Every structure is written in structure tokens, then in C-alpha cells.
Amino acid sequence: MNEPLPAALAVLERRLDAASRAPVAVAFSGGGDSLALLLVARAFAGRYGRPLVALHVDHGLQAPSAAWAEEAERTAQRLGVAFVRLVWTGDKPEHGLPAAARAARHRLIAEAARKRGASVVLVGHTLDDQLENALMRGSGVRVGTLREWSPSPVWPEGRGLFMCRPLLALRRSDLRRWLAEEGLGWLDDPANDDLRHPRARARRALADDVLAEGAAPPSLDDVRSGAFAGLWRAELWGGAVLDRQGLLRAEPGEATRLLQIAAVCVSGAERLSRPARAEGVLARLRAGERFVATVGGARIEAQGDEVVLEREAGEAARGGLGPLVLEAGTPLVWDGRFEIVADRPGLVLQALRGQGARLGADDRASLASIPAAARPALPLWRKLDDRDAAPRLALAAPHPHLQHNGVRCRALCEERLAAASGAVTREETIGTNPHMAHLPLSSYVEAGSKD
């Protein structure tokens, strides 16, 4: 058996910042994969003196889940690792429960990691998970490709947060043999053997050495393959600009994905739109048309060599432009596009739409550099108890990241585009590249993938 520890540590050396004092966060279920991951993370954290925290999600879906959480906590304590128990509360859906549980898990972990200052969460996916995904795709189940390094799959809770999978080249059986040699036991979830679920059936097929054609996963060297050759630029007011000729030179699938990525970043939505709309836009671009279209809540304007994307503010757009009360000093994400902090209480956010005539001269001047079609979806703030006072533009053009009259507003599109495009490859580069432009585009984590 190849020793798992050196191989997994090599990934952490490549992706994490040894000099950082931020905690290393581990998604820790107590199962064999996550226990092996916790040992790897402990070795890395101990080598560089970094804090380590295990984040455990109790979904409450099975009777022994509380006991599993307690056992996971005891294991973490024996290993000298801080432990945080996160509980999924509230109503559970009757349909689509696995997907809902996965989304809840990621949101809880993202919120806990951000609260503790972590920007990377380690996840215990293995080569077996990749093989299972390939088998599931072969049987018609929609799952994505797992990557060694990718943005958090939830938004906006996962903003500025990345997932790292250092066990992705290792087999589950090798990890368990390693744990046994270390004298460690782990939890086994009986749901993993419930053949009503496609993943359990794929796992059984792997155990029986029944591999579908094409089941071999891509090598880690191929993770960055298919890099997009076009260009993008994020605008300070939350929009994005794509190079039309770059799109037309790209392989059709990559160009479609680029449009989907840009649209979701501009619109503030959580998930990529279906590819059909983006494919239709690409067909019109290839035909040389000048047009306006919409994809996933984003307005797309193609009038020349540039394709401009901005939030669609019409009635058909995705919701999120409604008024929202700000709490002093508490960051709030408005419409999935802007992170806003008020320095005093008693303020409410709303869309600019229909309020332009009430703005003061300074705010009207600020709007002059922003496309007219993008203005209605921009955030305004006003005093909650004074509806007669003129509202103020939350965006302080041309520097929306600076304080503006008691409200600080940061557009998230650029950060999200950089993460999705593969421009951020290591922990120390997260959030340190403001006003990026002209970066090569690569792949984005498939919505609904097993992350």
C-alpha cells in the first residue's frame, strides 16, 4: 500500500499557505474518509503551527445522528482537535432530501468557517467518489466532476471560501487500512449501503469491481484542462464584460460555460442556468447579430466587440431586489451581488428602480459612468424612519469598496468570477486580487455535483 499521508500532505503544501495563522477547517463526519483527512490536516497544521478545527454537521435525519456527533467529538478530542457541532434545523423537504441535506451541510460549514476566519475547507472526497460519479453519470444521474480545488458550491454563504480535496487521488480501501494500522475506528453510515440510492449502487459496483466504460477519472494533471482562451473584465458596479471574439474562438462547450458563469456572477443567483439559453446567445453572436438577451437573470448586450452583462431588473428577473433592513456593523449580502455594511442602525436597502429622480446631484453624477440598463438594479439606502428624505446610492462609484456616507458597499462579481475562472489557485491568493481583468477562463463546479 502507498502511504497516504505524504501524497495528501503534498496537496496541502501546494494549496495552503504555511505562513497563514487562519484556522485549517475540516469537514468531519466521523467516517473513515474524513477521519483520514483529519489526520492529514493535523500533520500539516502541526508542522506549521496553524489552528485546526473539525466541523461536524448533524442533519438530524436518523435516530442515532446525535450519538454519531458525540462519537465524532470524542474522536476529535482524542486527536487534540477543536470540534464544532452544526445542526440542520427546520422543516425537511419530502422530495429531494439528499440534495437539500447536501446544500444545508455546505451552508452550515461555510458559515462556520467564515465565522472562524477560515478561507479553505478540507473535504474528504477520494478516488472512489470520482469513480462512483463516473458510474452514476453512465446510468443517467447528473453529477459533476470533483476537483482538488474549487469555490464553495453555495452562494452567498460560501463567498471567499474554497474547498480543497487532498485525498482525491487515493482509494478508500487504502485509507481504511492506514487507519486500522493507526489503531483508529470510524463511523459507518448505513445509508451508504441503501441500494435505493444511486450512489450506494455505484459504491456496490465498485466493491464488486464492476466499472462502467469511461469510469476512470481524470488525472489531477487534467483538472485544469480545457482552459478558456477568451477574456473577461469585472466592472466596479457589479457587471462583467466578455470579449466577443474570444467567445467565438472557443470550443462551443467552453464558451457556453463561460456565459453561464458570467451570468450567474452578474445576476447573483446561486446556480448556473441551463445551457440552452447560453447556447442560443452564442448562436446569435456567431451570426454577427447586435442584440439584447437574458440568461439566468443577467441582461446580455452584444453591440460590438464586447458583450456586456448586467443584472436584469425587469419583472421577469429573479427575485432579490426587495427592501432589506441593515443592522449596524453586520455584513449583509443584497441580491447575491453586493456585500453591504452600515455604520449606524436604522437604514434600509432597496433597488434604485423608480427612485432615480429623488437622488442628489452627487449620486446622479456617480451614475453617469454606469450603463443605463444596469442602474435600476443598483442598491440605494435610506433612513428607515424618514421616507421623505432623499435616498442615497450605496455604490460609491468609481470605488464601491470604500466607505460612502455611512454605508460600505462591495460588489462581489469580480471576486466570484475570479474564483470560478480558476484565477485563484492557492490560499494566499484568496481575496487579494482586486480589479482583476483579462484572465483565462477554465471550468466551474457543476451545479448539483457531489461536493
> Which parts of the chain sit beneath pLDDT 70?
1-2, 136-143, 189-231, 315-319, 396-405, 432-451
Q: Which residue from 393, 415, 416, 417 is spatially nearest to 405, judged by alpha carbons?
A: 393
Residue with cell 422530495: 95
Query: Between helices 127-138 and 198-207, what is the axis angle to 10°?
Result: 110
**Nearest CA among 414, 402, 422 for reference residue 241:** 414
pLDDT of residue 450: 37
Which cell numbers in the block locate residue 15?
Answer: 494549496
CB-based contacts of 238, cutoff 8 Å, min separation 6: 266, 310, 311, 337, 338, 374, 378, 395, 400, 411, 412, 413
Q: What is the pLDDT of residue 11?
A: 97
pLDDT value of residue 2: 53
Give the model's pLDDT for residue 227.
44
Q: How many CB atoms lie within 10 A of CB 225?
A: 10
Taking alpha carbons only, the member of 96, 97, 112 closest to residue 57 is: 112
Strand, coil or helix: 224: coil
pLDDT value, residue 221: 35
pLDDT of residue 215: 42
Instruction: Report pLDDT for 405.
Output: 63
Q: Is the pTM of this model over 0.75?
A: yes
In the chain, the N- to C-terminal Cα span, in Å, equals 27
Q: Residue 424: its pLDDT value, please?
A: 86
pLDDT of residue 211: 46
How much is the pLDDT for 403?
A: 46
- Rounded distance between C-alpha atoms, residue 423 and residue 277, angstroms: 26
Question: Hey, what domains does the chain have and what are their CATH numbers?
Answer: 4-220 (3.40.50.620), 232-316+414-429 (3.30.465), 324-411 (no CATH)
- Count CB-CB contacts under 10 A for residue 95: 6
